[in-house]
A and B are shown apart, each in its own frame.
Chain A
Amino acid sequence: GEDVEQSLFLSVREGDSSVINCTYTDSSSTYLYWYKQEPGAGLQLLTYIFSNMDMKQDQRLTVLLNKKDKHLSLRIADTQTGDSAIYFCAESIRNTDKLIFGTGTRLQVFP
């Protein structure tokens, strides 16, 4: 079945790097995504990676994909207080229109 897991909490100091991890079970995913949710709001797409790529960099964001271990990570460089939010990884399932989300990681940035 499709299952996406994340750790629930991460706390980092402002200026440090944050690494949020995600594991998934379905090997037929086509794209993997990272979404950000501000308090009391919907989700917004941060970045995505195609399943045949290993890494994608977008400004302060670096996505690493290990297909063998079914592990996805999001690294945020120079983390700021405005990065405090819940981060969800998600996968789209090949040949369907399903979009499966993880449990979400609450990132807290302290000064």
Chain B
Amino acid sequence: SQTIHQWPATLVQPVGSPLSLECTVEGTSNPNLYWYRQAAGRGLQLLFYSVGIGQISSEVPQNLSASRPQDRQFILSSKKLLLSDSGFYLCAWSDHRPGATTEAFFGQGTRLTVV
């Protein structure tokens, strides 16, 4: 069966510090991978998605970046965090099959607080 791991669960970081959130998927190959941010009152905002190794699509211009060094690994990074980067970050994967439903399976999320 497929599983998705996301860590850490909570993180408190000072303004200006770097960020690295990691997400890995097991039990599937060549998944679509997604990073979302959930902020209060703003719903679930798509930040990045990837359809393959090294292929990253950015949805929102910001000081965050994403990388996919391996097929089932997706990393969200920042060189210098801002207060506005605080939020609940969710990683998700879906099957990469043409014409199939894009049912997404979510990790448990990372609560990031920038202080």
Residue positions of A touching B, CB distance < 8 A: 4, 6, 8, 30-31, 33, 35, 40-45, 48, 88, 90, 92, 97-104
Tell me the count of chain B residues lying within 8 A, CB to CB, of chain A. 27
Q: A42-B92, A104-B38 are in contact. List 4 more A-B contacts (CB 8 A).
A: A33-B102, A40-B109, A42-B107, A100-B46
Q: Chain B interface mostly helix, strand, loop or mixed?
A: strand
In the bound complex, do residue B101 and residue A43 qualify as a contact, i.e. CB atoms below 8 Å apart? Answer: no
Which positions 36-54 of chain B face chain A at CB distance < 8 Å? 36, 38, 41-46, 49, 51
Is the Cβ of A97 less than 8 Å from the Cβ of B102?
yes
- Asked if B104 contacts A88 (CB within 8 A), the reply is no
8 Å CB contacts to A: which residues of B92-107? 92, 94, 96, 101-104, 106-107
Could you give 23 example pairs across A and B, Cβ below 8 Å? A6-B43, A30-B102, A31-B101, A33-B101, A41-B109, A42-B90, A42-B108, A42-B109, A43-B104, A44-B106, A45-B103, A48-B101, A88-B43, A90-B104, A97-B32, A97-B94, A97-B102, A99-B92, A101-B44, A102-B43, A102-B44, A103-B43, A104-B43
Identify the B interface with A (CB < 8 A): 32, 34, 36, 38, 41-46, 49, 51, 57, 59, 90, 92, 94, 96, 101-104, 106-109, 111
Query: Please, how many angstroms separate the alpha-carbon atoms of A104 and B34 in the complex?
Result: 18
Contact assessment for A88 and B44 in the assembled complex, using a CB-CB cutoff below 8 Å: yes
Q: Is the CB of A104 within 8 A of B90?
A: no
A29–chain B nearest beta-carbon distance, Å: 10
A61 to B70, CA, bound (A): 38
Give chain B nearest CB distance to A57 CB in angstroms: 17
Which residue from chain A places its CB closest to the CB of B32 in the assembled complex? A97
Given A8-B41, A42-B109, A88-B44, also A99-B101 (CB < 8 A): no
